[in-house]
Amino acid sequence: LKIAVLVSGGGTNLQAVMDAIDDQTITNTKIEVVISNNKNAYALERAAKKGIPNLCISPKDFADRAEFNRVFLEKLNSYHVDLVVLAGFLVVIPPEMIAEYKNKIINIHPSLIPSFCGTGYYGLKVHEGVLERGVKVTGATVHFVDEGTDTGPIILQKAVEVQSDDTPEILQRRVMEEAEWKILPQAIDLIANDRVVVEDHKTRIR
Ligand code: GRF
The residue contributing the CA closest to ligand 1 atom 9 is 88
Q: How far is the CA of 190 from the centre of ligand 1 (A)?
A: 21
Residue 176 to residue 164: CA distance in whole angstroms: 18
Position 122 scores a pLDDT of 92
Residue 90 CA, closest ligand 1 atom number: 6
Is there a binding annotation on residue 12? Answer: yes
Position 193 scores a pLDDT of 98
The residue contributing the CA closest to ligand 1 atom 14 is 12
Q: How far is the CA of 73 from the centre of ligand 1 (A)?
A: 22
Average confidence (pLDDT) per 10 residues, the chain, 206 residues:
98 98 98 98 98 97 96 97 97 94 98 96 96 98 96 98 98 98 98 97 97
Q: For ligand 1, which residues put their CB under 6 angstroms from it?
A: 7, 9-13, 43, 87-88, 108, 110, 123, 172, 180
